[in-house]
């Protein structure tokens, strides 16, 4: 079998006997390609950067679960028609998550291509509450690599105990580790601190997927903020992603995070769309994403 990577970053397997002719297509210069993307391309890339532990198809919807670790890995991704009337589809969704002891969430978007605004309205009309909206921003990857030298940043393929000690979510389970380590090419960054426990002063996570690189979990010890550590982490991860052929970047930022928004805007990022999670009626809300 041959493994072929499409332009979108998706990998497919083809029987070698079915190949008539082929050649390796060199990547376009990374610093010249722009970050333009459709909503569907970007949301699929984002989904591959944060994979659930289990999933099931309902027509064009994907039901995702990971033991409750973050909404993103425990929500429905509605890309297409579920193959059922909406009320029947939502009943199936609630049943599926109920069997796993989880509240049902549906991930939606606004400000993208206009295809999900009607779904948002229908969910809210049925009492599905909207929670923790955030924005997806995109930008060129090279400007991020140029932000700083990135010296002092250690990169690894796994989230070790030191990295997890700085990560904002305490008591990370085995399921959560599987989600954190999921994606086509995952990198973890840390800037070592001076404390005896060895807790990093800053960390970050990057997933390289075709032409895209995602940045997440960029966290800095409050005692070390305003020293450029977040910038150094981003720059080091961006250089690694450039080396792997990526040229564009995306990330998620909350609307009230003024510091992060200023940093990303200065690096050339701009909002692409907003995404939300709608929670089934009659269940308590959560505070994480």
In the numeric block, which tokens belong to residue 73?
A: 């890995």
239 φ, ψ (degrees, to nearest 5): -65, -40
Q: Which residue has the higher pLDDT, 104 or 267?
A: 104
Distance separating alpha carbons of residues 236 and 229, to the nearest angstrom: 11
Averaged pLDDT of the chain? 86
Tell me if 211 sits within 8 A of 245, measured CB to CB.
yes
Over the stretch 167-197, which tens digit does the pLDDT of each residue have? Answer: 977 667 889 999 999 999 999 999 987 665 6
Q: Please, which pLDDT band fits residue 242 given cuts at 50, 70 and 90?
A: very high
Distance separating alpha carbons of residues 276 and 132, to the nearest angstrom: 6
Q: Which residue has the higher pLDDT, 151 or 228?
A: 228
Instruction: State what percent of residues in the chain have pLDDT above 90.
Output: 62
Residue 117, pLDDT score? 86
Over the stretch 252-288, which tens digit does the pLDDT of each residue have? Answer: 998 888 888 988 998 889 999 999 999 999 876 554 5
Per-domain boundaries in the chain: 39-135+275-279, 139-273
Distance separating alpha carbons of residues 63 and 148, to the nearest angstrom: 40
**Mean predicted confidence (pLDDT) in 113-117:** 71
Distance separating alpha carbons of residues 126 and 138, to the nearest angstrom: 32
User: Is the per-residue pLDDT at 54 higher than 90?
Assistant: yes
In the numeric block, which tokens belong to residue 148?
A: 């700083």
Q: Please, which pLDDT band fits residue 198 given cuts at 50, 70 and 90?
A: confident
Q: Tell whether pTM > 0.85.
A: no
Which is the CATH superfamily of the domain at 139-273?
A: Gcn5-related N-acetyltransferase (GNAT) (3.40.630.30)
* Pick from 153, 173, 155: nearest CA to 164: 173
Residue 50, pLDDT score? 95
Tell me if 116 sits within 8 A of 108, measured CB to CB.
yes
Residue 149, pLDDT score? 83
């Amino acid at each position: 079998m041959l493994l072929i990577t499409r332009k979108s970053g998706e990998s497919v397997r083809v029987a070698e006997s079915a190949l008539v002719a082929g050649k390796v297509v060199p990547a376009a210069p990374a610093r010249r390609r722009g970050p333009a993307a459709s909503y569907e391309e970007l949301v699929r890339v984002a989904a591959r950067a944060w994979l659930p532990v289990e999933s099931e198809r309902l027509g064009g919807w994907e039901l995702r679960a990971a033991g409750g670790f973050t909404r993103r890995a425990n929500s429905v991704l509605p890309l297409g028609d579920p193959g059922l009337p909406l009320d029947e589809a939502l009943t199936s969704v609630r049943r599926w998550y109920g069997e796993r002891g989880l509240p049902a969430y549906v991930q939606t978007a606004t400000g993208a291509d206009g295809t999900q605004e009607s779904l948002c309205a229908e969910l809210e009309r049925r009492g599905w509450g909207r929670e923790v909206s955030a924005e997806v921003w995109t930008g060129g990857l090279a400007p991020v690599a140029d932000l700083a030298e990135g010296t002092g940043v250690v990169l690894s393929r796994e989230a070790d105990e030191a990295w997890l000690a700085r990560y904002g979510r305490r008591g990370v389970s085995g399921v959560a580790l599987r989600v954190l380590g999921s994606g086509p090419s995952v990198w973890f960054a840390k800037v070592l601190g001076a404390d005896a426990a060895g807790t990093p002063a800053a960390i970050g996570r990057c997933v390289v997927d075709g032409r895209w690189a995602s940045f997440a979990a960029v966290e800095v010890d409050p005692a070390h903020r305003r020293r450029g550590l977040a910038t150094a982490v981003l720059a080091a991860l961006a250089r690694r992603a450039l080396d792997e052929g990526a040229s564009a970047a995306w990330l998620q930022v909350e609307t009230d995070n003024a510091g992060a928004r200023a940093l990303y805007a200065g690096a050339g990022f701009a909002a692409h769309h907003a995404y939300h999670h709608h929670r089934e009626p009659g269940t308590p809300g959560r505070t994480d994403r």
